Amino acid sequence: MISCKAQNNTETAEKDCFKTAADRTELYLPLLKDKTVTVVTNQTGLLKDKTHLVDFLVKNNIKIKSIFAPEHGFRGDADAGEHVKSGIDVKTGLPIVSLYGNNKKPTAGQLKGTDVILFDIQDVGVRFYTYISTLTYVMEAAAENNIEVIVLDRPNPHGGYIDGPVLKEQWKSFVGMHKVPVVYGLTIGEYGKMVNGEKWLKNGVTAKYTVVPMLGYHKLQRYGISERPSPNLPNEKSINLYPSLCFFEGTQVSVGRGTALPFQVYGSPWTKSFSYTFTPKPNYGAKDPFLNGKLCYGENLSNFPEDLRRLNLSWLLKAYKDYKNPQQNFFLTNLFFDKLAGSDDLRKQIMAGKTEEEIRRSWQKDLAEFEKIRAKYVMYEN
């Protein structure tokens, strides 16, 4: 366990002694000296003074071969699922390789000459948020090519608790690669330790893996984000609601992409009992948002109490009950909902009219089993 004992126990003192791994430069710069480094990062890879990690490394004469960028790109301005082009970083002249679309896993050619992969991305702590999938593929490629992986750890905005259905094997995809619950209560550094320790990489390979820990981090405490982790998670409120609202992405209900309140509202043209209305329109975070130009009836959750420490299924169940559209099923025909949920159980439970309590009870056995695995990899105190 890693902790930071401040002079007194006030929250301010705890926060004053907190540092992300990126700011513990004395721990990782020596590990990179005289090595050729590939950096996996995006707009969230910032030091406390807002310097980007890549710029800091260049300034400190670390030899960088290339930058790998996840979904949403290196500067973080691409839509979810949008094809992200590879290219050159204008500021440093370094090549950028996209780890999204058809190239989710680095190839041997892309890694040639690399001694160390340095990974620094702010995660959200939710199974279907794809940065943990990117980390998995990076670790797998590193293991296969005998390259070390160093993760600079960052806070999990959903740390300190686990919740939701656990993914079942046959529903594995890029939005859920491992048998973990929707909220798994590990930092991205701890998550990589679990993937390695449980031999979840392809063919049971293991990577040479190091986590540079945070200082003074506590799982139950909440730390502000310095930069939005993706275009449609602009603030703490959207991140807090994300695990509960993302299920709507597998339905005919909008989560507010194309509005000023993404992941803080939900609604559909076919849920007319709700009084709040909004109309999705193209914007910075959504070039062609779902239900573009259609008047949606739903609920505004932007004033919902901030720290929701469990999944709230009531919004999903309410919308399902209210949905009236003879032309289209509530659930998308591609059953993307099942990939998000990790099996077809939740969809079938909703269709069968199960209550939130009944649904939650059905998760408990799997959650207890997962907790035994998770406990082995926890590095920080609550």
DSSP symbols for 110-135: HHTT-SEEEEE----SBTTSTHHHHH
Residue 83: count other Cβ atoms within 10 Å of its Cβ: 10
Find the mean pLDDT for residues 39-51.
96
User: With 80 as the cut, is the pLDDT of residue 16 above it?
Assistant: no
Q: Note the pLDDT of residue 78.
A: 58
User: At 124, which CATH number?
Assistant: 3.40.50.12170
Per-residue pLDDT tens digits for 118-142: 999 999 999 999 999 999 999 999 9
The total number of residues shown for the chain amounts to 382
Range of the domain at 270: 236-362
Per-residue pLDDT tens digits for 204-251: 999 999 999 999 999 999 998 889 999 999 999 999 999 999 999 999
CA of 238: how far to CAs of 29, 244, 261, 307, in Å?
A: 34, 10, 8, 11
Per-residue pLDDT tens digits for 78-128: 566 666 667 888 888 999 999 988 899 999 999 999 999 999 999 999 999
Find the mean pLDDT for residues 46-51.
96
Task: Give the residue carrying structure tokens 């330790």.
Answer: 193
Phi/psi of residue 36, each to 5°? -95, 125
One domain, residues 240 and 220:
no
Find the mean pLDDT for residues 155-175.
97
- Choose one of 225, 259, 290: the last residue of a domain: 225
One domain, residues 49 and 145:
yes
Mean pLDDT computed over every residue of the chain: 93
Per-residue pLDDT tens digits for 242-284: 999 999 999 999 999 999 999 999 999 999 999 999 999 999 8
CA of 32: how far to CAs of 13, 151, 202, 341, in Å?
A: 32, 12, 27, 39
What pTM was estimated for this model as a whole?
A: 0.93
The enclosing H or E element of 188 equals helix 188-197
One domain, residues 210 and 174:
yes
Residue 154 lies in a domain: yes
